[in-house]
Structure 1
Amino acid sequence: MSKKDLIKRLKWYYPMEMIHAFITFPIMVVWLIFNKPLQEIVFILYGLALCIFILYQGQHYWKLKLYTLTGRSFDRTKNLTFFRKSKKINLVMIALVPLVLMLQLYLNDWSYNGNLIWWAVLANVFGMLEHINYYHTQLMVDNTSDINYLIRNRKLKTASLAKDLLENEI
C-alpha cells in the first residue's frame, strides 16, 4: 500500500477504532448495567472492559502511525513504554478471564442464564483476538494489500505494532 493510500486509510481507520473504544463498547456496558442484574453480567462486563482497553491501544497506535506518516511529532519513547506496559496488562487481564468466568458461575449458583453467557464468551474471545491482532499476528485482512500478501506468502502478517516494538520505533 502506498504512503498516500495508507494516510488516507488511517485518517478514517483510527477514528473508527476510537469510536468503538469510547462510544460503542461503553454504550453496551451502560445498557447492561441498567438492564441486567450485576450477578448476571460480571463476565460480559469484564470482556467488554478488555475490549475497550485493547481498542484504546489500537486507536492510539494507528493515530501515532498517522502522525509518523504526516510528519507530526510525538514522544516515541513514552509511547513505546505505554505499549509495552499495556501488552503486559493485557496478558494479565487475559489470564484472569477463566477466574472471572468462575466468579460469574459462582454468583449464579454454578449455572448460566440464557444466552448472555455466550455473548460474554464472545466478548472475552474478541478481546483476546484483538490482543493477538495488535501485538502478534495481524488477523484482520480487510484490504487488497493484505489479501495479496496472504496469497503471495500463504501466511498472515506480523502485526505492525509487534514489528514496531521489536524495532523500538513507531
Structure 2
Amino acid sequence: MQKRVKKKLVSLYTGELFAVFTFALIWILYIQLFEWSVPYLTSYPSLYAFALLEFILLQGSYYWCLKLKQAQQNDFTSLPGRQLKVFANFKRLNTGLIVIGMFMLTYQIISKPIELYWFIFVFLFAVIEHINYYYVRLSYQTIEEIKELKRQKGYRKSRLAKELESFLK
C-alpha cells in the first residue's frame, strides 16, 4: 500500500513538473517555428493566461513534492501548518489573478482580438487547474479512480482542499 502511494505521488509530482516544462517548450517552439502563431501566443492576455497556468501547475508540483517527501518518511498526515499557510496564500493570490483575468476576458470579448479564443482556452485551463487543486478533484487518471468517482456519485474535495479546510478551522 505505502509503495503504491509513493509511486502515485512520484507520478503526480513529476507529471505536473513535466507539464510545466513541456508547455513552456512547446509555447516557445511554436513562436519560433510557426509565424501564424505569433499573434496568438505573444499577446499580453495570452501571456498572462499562460503565466497563470504555469504558476498554478508549479503549485501542484510543489504540493505533490511535499507529500512525496512526507510519504518517504512514512508520514501520511496533513502538511505542517507553515506549508499549508503557503498554499492558503497561493489560493488567495490565484483568486486575485483569476479576477484580473476575468477583466481581461471581458475586455477581450468586447474588443474581439484575433487571440480571443486562444486566451479563453488557456485561461479556462488555468481556472480548472486552480479548482482541481484548491476545491474539487477533477482529474481521474486510472480505471480504478473513475470507478471510485462513479461509486461516490460525484466529485469530492481535493486532497489539498481537505488539508486547507482542516488547517483554517
Letter in 2 for 1:70: Q
- Please say if residues 44 and 123 of structure 1, whose CA atoms lie closer than 8 Å, have aligned partners that are also in contact: yes
Q: Give the aligned partner of residue 47 of structure 1.
A: 49
2:49 match: secondary structure: helix
Q: Give the aligned partner of residue 139 of structure 1.
A: 138
Q: CA deviation at 1:84?
A: 0.4
Q: CA deviation at 1:72?
A: 7.5
Q: Are 1:93 and 2:97 an aligned pair?
A: yes
Q: Give the aligned partner of residue 86 of structure 2.
A: 82
C-alpha change, 1:104 and 1:29, in structure 2 (3 Å) is farther
- Please say if residues 42 and 104 of structure 1, whose CA atoms lie closer than 8 Å, have aligned partners that are also in contact: no
Q: Give the aligned partner of residue 5 of structure 2.
A: 6
Q: CA deviation at 1:103?
A: 5.1
34-43 or 145-154: bigger deviation = 34-43
**Counterpart-to-counterpart distance in 1, 2:93 and 2:164:** 16
**Counterpart-to-counterpart distance in 2, 1:9 and 1:154:** 23
Letter in 2 for 1:87: K
Q: Which runs of 5+ in 2 are unaligned?
A: none
* Cα shift readout 1:93-151 (whole Å, capped 9, x = no counterpart): 11111222355578xxx2322xx321211100000000100011000011234222212
Q: Which runs of 5+ in 1 are unaligned?
A: none
- Please say if residues 29 and 48 of structure 1, whose CA atoms lie closer than 8 Å, have aligned partners that are also in contact: no
Q: Are 1:24 and 2:26 an aligned pair?
A: no
- Please say if residues 109 and 116 of structure 2, whose CA atoms lie closer than 8 Å, have aligned partners that are also in contact: no
* Cα shift readout 1:26-52 (whole Å, capped 9, x = no counterpart): 335545776635996112111111111
Q: CA deviation at 1:165?
A: 1.0
Letter in 2 for 1:24: T
Q: Give the aligned partner of residue 56 of structure 1.
A: 58
- Please say if residues 132 and 138 of structure 2, whose CA atoms lie closer than 8 Å, have aligned partners that are also in contact: yes
Superposed CA RMSD: 2.7
88-97 or 35-44: bigger deviation = 35-44
C-alpha change, 1:103 and 1:72, in structure 2 (3 Å) is farther
Letter in 2 for 1:61: Y
> TM-score, normalization: structure 2?
0.81
C-alpha change, 1:37 and 1:144, in structure 2 (3 Å) is closer
**Counterpart-to-counterpart distance in 1, 2:30 and 2:3:** 41
**Counterpart-to-counterpart distance in 2, 1:66 and 1:129:** 23
Q: Give the aligned partner of residue 148 of structure 1.
A: 147
